[in-house]
Amino acid sequence: MICAGNWKLNMSPKETTVFLEDLKVKLTELPAEQFIVFPPAISLAAAQQALSGTGVGWGGQNMANQESGAFTGENSINHLKELGAQYVLIGHSERRSLYFETDQLVNEKLKLALSKNIKPIVCIGETLEQRESGQTKEVLATQLKLGLKNINSDQQMILAYEPVWAIGTGKVATVEQVEEVHQFIKSFLVEQLGADFSQQTPILYGGSVKPTNSEELAALESVDGFLIGGASLNVESFVEIYKTTVSA
């Protein structure tokens, strides 16, 4: 069960070191490979230093759709790779809503990350308005269709279903809602890219995941892990979430 922590714009390099040193101590009895952290870009070097040889995965929260050039303020996948990152988040809802990222851009980034052997976690999800007007599946289908366009069925990635209305709001989706959407995503993947692709592509749930709600969500067969924002900023709750998935 993957537990990925999206730290967003939190955790300086110093705070990253302190957090990860503490995490390493707490992971001695747990499978470190199941943990992934996404520090802000400026703290990635600190993460690399702290996590080298531990098995804990780490990566960037975002990447440019270009490798290099006149793109002020962007982050290059080549630089992520040189530093040793194994993962990159693509299409997080905050990137989509605050920085106007489109499905086409998501697709360009995805193809670039895959070409560099960095495993992408592609995020999709509907807004409250879209859910309330009955458009959830249509929205997700479009995000998947355009976002995963021209992807080969043997390419390895992770998907994260994050309903926008559940992110940072304390409003977690119900187990029924998560199960329904994850099953929908799985059948969509079977249809578009084949059963093997669907089988090998983990689907994480994200949106107000906490130790108090993670157990019942982890018990769903269609949930392969979590993308955790707020609760990943505290070592105890981050590790506790993983532990609840083991008992689920």
Which of the stretches 26-34, 72-80, 174-182, 225-233 binds ligand PGA when contact is defined by CB under 6 A? Answer: 225-233
Q: Interface mask (CB under 6 A) for ligand PGA, residues 2-41, using x and -?
A: ----x-----------------------------------
Regarding 46 and contact with ligand PGA (CB under 6 A), the answer is no
Q: Which of 164, 189, 209, 218 binds ligand PGA (CB under 6 A)?
A: 209
Residue pair 38/82 in contact by the 8 Å Cβ criterion: no
Stretch of residues binding ligand PGA (CB under 6 A), selected from 79-87, 103-111, 205-213, 214-222: 205-213
Q: SS3 for 85?
A: coil
Q: Between 6 and 43, whose beta carbon lies closer to ligand PGA? A: 6
Select from 172, 178, 175, 114 the least CA-distant residue to 140: 178
Buried b (16+ CB within 10 A) or exposed e, 204-241: bbbbbbbbebbeebbebebbbbbbbbbbbbebebbbbb
CB of 160 to ligand PGA, least distance (A): 7
Q: Which is nearer to ligand PGA, 1 or 231 (CB)?
A: 231
Query: What whole-number distance in Å separates Cα of residue 230 and Cα of residue 149?
Result: 31
**CA dist., res. 64 & res. 167, Å (int):** 23
Strand partners, 226: 3, 205
Tokens representing residue 22 in the block: 């503490």
Residue 158 CB, nearest approach to ligand PGA (Å): 13
At 111, is the secondary structure helix, strand, or coil? helix
Identify any residues that bridge with 50 across adjacent strands, giving them in sequence order: none
Interface residue with ligand PGA, options 208, 213, 244, 245 (CB under 6 A): 208
Catalytic (active site) residue 79: no
Can 182 be counted among the known catalytic residues? no
Is 244 a binding residue for ligand PGA by CB under 6 A? The answer is: no
Catalytically annotated residues: 92, 162
* Binding-site ranges for ligand PGA (CB under 6 A): 6, 162, 167-168, 206-209, 227-231
